[in-house]
Amino acid sequence: MEEVELGDDRLYLRPWRLGDAASVYEACQDREIQRWTSVPTPYLREHAESYVGEISPTAWRTGSGAIFGVFDLHTGQLLAATGVHQISEREVSAGGRAELGYWCAAWARGKGVMTGACRLVCEWAFADPSAGGLGLARIDWHAEVGNHASRRIAEKLGFTIEGTLRQRIVHRDRRLDAWVAGLLRGELR
Amino acid sequence: MREPTKHMRKLAVPPEPVEIAAGWLQLTPWSGDLAAEIVDLISDPDFQRWYVHPPDLGEDAAERFIRSRKERWRSGDLLSFAVRDATTGALVGDVQLSDLSPWDGSAWIGYSTAPAARGRGVAPHAVGVLTRWGFQAIGLHRIQLGHAVENPASCRVAIKAGYPAEGILRSSLPRSSGGWWDMEIHAAINPADS
């Protein structure tokens, strides 16, 4: 899959580069990111290097995922990560599907960064391939039950909570229930 | 974001298709003696309608079906069984586990019943047997199934087989005729893990 960049008047989204490892490492030391996402704990420098240098480029190359670093357009500071992964069924004429995932650096919270960045990704993912998009019909979201901060972002984007999947997530050796939600083309806010 | 974790679960998938005793039913590998019955089963309109990727019909359909089931078992991607009447040996349906994930011990289950065998509880029984096998022999933790909300017969099978409903995911099940069904998701959890 061809790599793309997205953005607006304050956010710049681009595929990760090797040079991002240091700032990803710094952002992922945050307790909230470690509490609610599947990043490794403790989060080592090598995890960041593998994420920006292997996992993300491989996802782009194989077409299984489109993962972006989110940067301040003006300062270049790392703000967040977002992307769609498990892209599938793109060959289906009615459009494919994928799952949205994200984390926001502690220093960028409360400013609408995460919602804005995810909106750019969803817009692109729903756009027709003739317009450079992925042509998805549905975007999935799931999070551990109780992750209200993530759920608020999903709901602001227009996601509908559709159910609770029992013991769907393995997190730090514990099995946890997951909220599941979906966003259909045309529902993005 | 998803990254590799240390929770890889060793799944004990037999290298070749196996047989599972199921009382008045028998779950068996697909074999050539079933060829005519396989064609009847997979050409049934309900089968073609509700299966996400229904097998191709046409020439040598049964042979291709048997071969693909064997190959996909060996690749660990689909564990598909013929469901037979244990007394007569007649094919009464199919049941399968797919998308087995060593990451989190989850898998999907699917099933169908031949028209002539409907109304006897074939699918709930076969699903119940395969579920226990999936938990006890394979080591799965969570088995889930999805059916189109327009398919209440499948929902009844799920409930009877011990799969409570968890939600309706809109536009989530590819239709064989194009587009998407709204999908109700159900799941069973391995009681030994709780």
Query: How many residue pairs from chains A and B have C-beta atoms closer than 8 A?
Result: 91
DSSP A123: H
**Chain B nearest C-alpha distance from A132 (Å):** 21
Measured CA to CA, the distance from residue A42 to residue A54 in angstroms comes to 19
CB contact under 8 A, A162 and B5: no
Distances (CA, A) of A64 to A56, A98, B48, B83: 10, 9, 28, 35
User: What percent of chain A is modeled with pLDDT above 70?
Assistant: 98
What's the pLDDT at B54? 85
Measured CA to CA, the distance from residue A34 to residue A44 in angstroms comes to 12
User: Please, what CATH class does the domain formed by B20-193 belong to?
Assistant: alpha beta
Beta bridge partners of B78: B98
Mean pLDDT, all residues of chain A: 95
Stated pTM of the model: 0.88
Measured CA to CA, the distance from residue A187 to residue A176 in angstroms comes to 28
Is residue B70 within 8 Å of residue B56, measured between CB atoms? Answer: no
| Least confident among A11-25, B88-102, B122-136, B169-183 | B169-183
- Torsion angles phi and psi, residue B111, rounded to 5: -160, 160
**Chain B nearest C-alpha distance from A75 (Å):** 24
Residue B107: closest CA among chain A residues belongs to which residue? Answer: A168
Question: Mind giving me the DSSP string for A7-59?
Answer: E-SSEEEEE--GGGHHHHHHHTT-HHHHHHS---SS--HHHHHHIIIIIHHHH
Residues of A in contact with B180 (CB under 8 A): 92, 94, 137-138
pLDDT (tens digit per residue) in B130-166: 999 999 999 999 999 999 999 999 999 999 999 999 9
The SS3 assignment for A125 reads helix
Residue A174: closest CA among chain B residues belongs to which residue? Answer: B7
**Domain chopping of chain B, boundaries:** 20-193
Residue A104: closest CA among chain B residues belongs to which residue? Answer: B1
- Residues 68-127 of chain A with CB under 8 A from chain B are 81, 83, 85, 89, 92-94, 97, 101-103
**Chain B nearest C-alpha distance from A174 (Å):** 10
ipTM of this predicted structure: 0.84
pLDDT (tens digit per residue) in B8-29: 668 999 999 999 999 999 999 9
User: Please, what CATH class does the domain formed by A6-133 belong to?
Assistant: alpha beta
Residue of A85, A93, A167 lying closest to B142 (CB–CB): A167
Query: A109 pLDDT exceeds 80?
Result: yes
CB contact under 8 A, A94 and B167: no
Task: Using a CB–CB cutoff of 8 Å, tell me whether A173 touches chain B.
Answer: yes
pLDDT (tens digit per residue) in A46-68: 999 999 999 999 999 999 999 99
Taking the CA atoms of residue B59, residue B65, residue B70 and residue B75 in that order, the dihedral angle to the nearest 10 degrees is 110
Residues of B in contact with A97 (CB under 8 A): 172
Residue of A55, A94, A164 lying closest to B179 (CB–CB): A94
Residue of A85, A162, A166 lying closest to B170 (CB–CB): A162
What is the residue type of A35? R
The SS3 assignment for A89 reads coil
Query: B4 pLDDT exceeds 60?
Result: no
**Domain chopping of chain A, boundaries:** 6-133
Residues of B in contact with A140 (CB under 8 A): 169, 172
The predicted model gives A20-26 an average pLDDT of: 98
CB contact under 8 A, B168 and A163: yes
Confidence of residue B6 (pLDDT cuts 50, 70, 90): very low
The SS3 assignment for B60 reads coil
Dmax over CA atoms of chain B, in Å, equals: 52
Measured CA to CA, the distance from residue B22 to residue A62 in angstroms comes to 42
Beta bridge partners of A12: A7, A71
Q: How many CA atoms lie within 13 A of B125 on its CB side?
A: 21
**Chain B nearest C-alpha distance from A47 (Å):** 9
